[in-house]
């Protein structure tokens, strides 16, 4: 075997950060200034966020590859998700690169998800370059932020080499970088030069062939495309290879071979170790498998991925409105779609239940599962989902539950309310610091089930000023029962169209979720009761027409504006005996048991 050879013409780097710290915008700036786009070319903002949900929410969900050429060196940049819910994406991505660009906000500093991704990178012995972004903010505190990053590295047991990280100050939006804090640069060239000088060039051999598959793409013409870094060897179109999976070895043949140039995949005939390639023609192929040399197969170790912590049931829609709005409505459609998702979504688990029309889906968090639900809804699927439940573990005969480390930035006046509410949800305050004269950062350890339904409550309590983020901490013994919801539901007692008169009568009981003229069915949840119990209300009731007229009582009906629940809010709101009905056009809430008499009978039986 040859000695290791350095490829000086390649650099592989992942760009990682907390949500909304500007990493996708920074990639935009690097692409623009490297000449990837023509001068007159119209380019959308955050061009790497190609998924429609990513553009709407301003978050990165899927890891993506791009490359830029600078001074004859090809720099492969992988944009990774910032949410811990998409940790499976992050872990796989880090296996492809040699360094990371750690982007932190010049005011907010390192946040929980920054810690999550950095911990993964340090475990893989990757050396970071710290980019203090948004240095143009008027409230920027770059030097304090660098000190906080250093403290974070020390807390994660970084070695001496990792602690000697280079720092650069940027404004991704304005397109400049500077090595001196407080000094505005002219362009991003200092960052390009730092990347070339600091990122380790990949090292490898011309044999044996080893390519770790880190993501899967689909193309309707060539089928599944495996993407990964060629660790060793030379790869060619039409080459026979061995694919190593947990089940064993299979012999296959490479179809087309692609490399990344800018945002596009370009077909090539041969690729050399150290670069990132996309390969078609191999099926079956899954994430984590190794494409090996046919004569000397040496598989690479598979990356360990964090286990799911949240589970919910996906159920075929059986409400009175079933099949009216969706294109895919049967259990076969639902099963096929979930199985297809498993091929690319490595943190997801799908299990069959004892009911043929219900599947248990496990994910990394509420956001992870709600993104899947929203994606399926937009594709034309119609189904129902149950309340998210945390996944308990039995360790040495003791029931354990997942614990999340929660960080909340709030104005000082609301910190007491936040601590009190999370205390009720079995949260324990571990740290409290002032990040400015009027803002406090709270750090708590809270059971994962205690966070279900809390985000919207926190926003109400803090008048919209609270910022909440959390990462998985570990499993601890069961903390006891938590009372999630202090209020009941307003449940429709009659089918039909909601009338202004019926809604005006019902709104005296609590807040409404539906506007006038909404079609409702018996057992559908139309609002939240102000008290703890559920109440049946007739929102379709119409005022009796008589020839009697009373002075003042016939004035126009005044309706309080209804609360339109988003998908996440609906998932947070429902109780164990309730479901969310998902269709391409509507999100409805309903009781599992639609009949009120049967519901009462079941409630009495459970009480006894």
Residue ranges at the known binding site for GTP: 20-25
Would you list which residues are annotated within the binding site? 20-25
| DSSP secondary structure letter of residue 304 | P
- CA atoms within 13 Å, Cβ hemisphere of 200: 16
Cis omega (within 30 of 0) for bond into 279? no
In the three-class reduction of DSSP (H, G, I as helix; E, B as strand; rest coil), residue 167 is classed as strand
Cis omega (within 30 of 0) for bond into 79? no
- DSSP H helix total and E strand total for the chain: 15, 37
For 132, phi then psi, to 5°, come to -85, 100
Max CA pair span of the chain: 101
CA distances 348 to 330, 340, 365, Å, are: 21, 11, 10
Residue with tokens 């949260």: 427
Question: Do residues 79 and 120 lie in contact, with contact meaning Cβ atoms separated by under 8 Å?
Answer: no
Which among 491, 493, 484, 486 is positioned nearest to 571, based on CA atoms? 484
Distance CA 83, CA 95 (A): 18
Which among 259, 226, 260, 200 is positioned nearest to 66, based on CA atoms? 260
Question: Do residues 351 and 362 lie in contact, with contact meaning Cβ atoms separated by under 8 Å?
Answer: yes
Distance CA 273, CA 516 (A): 63
């Amino acid at each position: 075997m040859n000695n290791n050879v350095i490829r000086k013409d390649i650099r592989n780097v992942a760009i990682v950060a907390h949500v909304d710290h500007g990493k996708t915008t920074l990639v935009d700036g690097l692409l623009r200034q490297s000449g990837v786009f023509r001068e007159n070319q119209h380019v959308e903002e955050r061009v790497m966020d190609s998924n429609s949900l990513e553009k709407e929410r301003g978050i990165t969900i899927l890891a993506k590859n791009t490359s830029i050429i600078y001074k004859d060196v090809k720099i492969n940049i992988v944009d990774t998700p910032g949410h811990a819910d998409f940790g499976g994406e992050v872990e796989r991505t880090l296996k492809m690169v040699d360094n990371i660009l750690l982007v932190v906000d010049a005011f907010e500093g390192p946040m929980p998800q920054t810690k999550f991704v950095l911990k993964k990178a340090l475990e893989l012995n990757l050396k970071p370059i710290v980019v203090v972004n948004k240095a143009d903010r008027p409230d920027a505190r770059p030097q304090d932020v660098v000190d906080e990053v250093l403290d974070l590295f020390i807390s994660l047991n970084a070695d001496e080499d990792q602690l000697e990280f280079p720092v650069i100050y940027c404004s991704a939006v304005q397109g400049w970088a500077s090595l001196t804090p407080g000094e505005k640069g002219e362009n991003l060239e200092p960052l390009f030069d730092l990347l070339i000088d600091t990122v380790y060039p990949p090292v490898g051999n011309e044999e044996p062939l080893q390519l770790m598959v880190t993501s899967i793409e689909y193309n309707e013409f060539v089928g599944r495309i495996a993407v990964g870094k060629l660790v060793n060897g030379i790869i060619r179109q039409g080459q026979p290879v061995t694919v190593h999976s947990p089940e064993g070895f299979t012999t296959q043949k490479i179809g087309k071979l692609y490399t990344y140039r800018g945002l596009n995949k370009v077909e090539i005939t041969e690729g050399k170790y150290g670069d990132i390639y996309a390969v078609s023609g191999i099926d079956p192929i899954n994430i984590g498998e190794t494409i090996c040399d046919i004569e000397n197969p040496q598989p690479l170790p598979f990356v360990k991925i964090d286990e799911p912590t949240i589970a919910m049931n996906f159920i075929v829609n059986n409400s009175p409105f079933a099949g009216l709005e969706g294109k895919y409505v049967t259990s076969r459609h639902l099963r096929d779609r979930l199985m297809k998702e498993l091929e690319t979504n490595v943190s997801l688990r799908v299990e069959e239940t004892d009911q043929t029309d219900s599947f248990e889906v496990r994910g990394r968090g509420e956001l992870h599962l709600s993104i899947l639900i929203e994606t399926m809804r937009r594709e034309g699927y119609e189904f129902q989902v149950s309340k998210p439940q945390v996944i308990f573990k039995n360790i040495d005969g003791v029931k354990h539950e997942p614990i999340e480390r929660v960080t909340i930035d709030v104005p000082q006046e609301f910190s007491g309310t936040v601590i009190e509410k999370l205390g009720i949800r079995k949260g324990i305050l571990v740290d409290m610091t002032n990040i400015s004269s009027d803002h406090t950062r709270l750090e708590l350890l809270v059971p994962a089930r205690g966070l279900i339904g809390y985000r919207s409550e926190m926003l109400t309590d803090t008048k919209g000023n609270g910022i909440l983020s959390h990462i998985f901490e570990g499993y601890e013994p069961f903390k006891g029962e938590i009372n999630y919801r202090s209020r009941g539901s307003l449940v429709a007692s009659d089918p039909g169209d909601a009338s202004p008169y019926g809604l005006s009568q019902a709104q005296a009981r609590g807040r409404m979720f539906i506007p006038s003229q909404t079609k409702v069915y018996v057992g559908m949840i139309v609002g939240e009761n102000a008290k703890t119990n559920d109440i049946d209300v007739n929102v379709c009731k119409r005022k009796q027409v008589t020839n009697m007229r009373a002075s003042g009582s016939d004035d126009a009906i005044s309706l309080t504006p209804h609360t339109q629940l988003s998908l996440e809010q609906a998932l947070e709101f429902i109780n164990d005996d309730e479901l969310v009905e998902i269709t391409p056009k509507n999100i409805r809430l309903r009781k599992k048991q639609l009949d009120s008499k049967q519901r009462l009978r079941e409630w009495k039986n459970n009480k006894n």
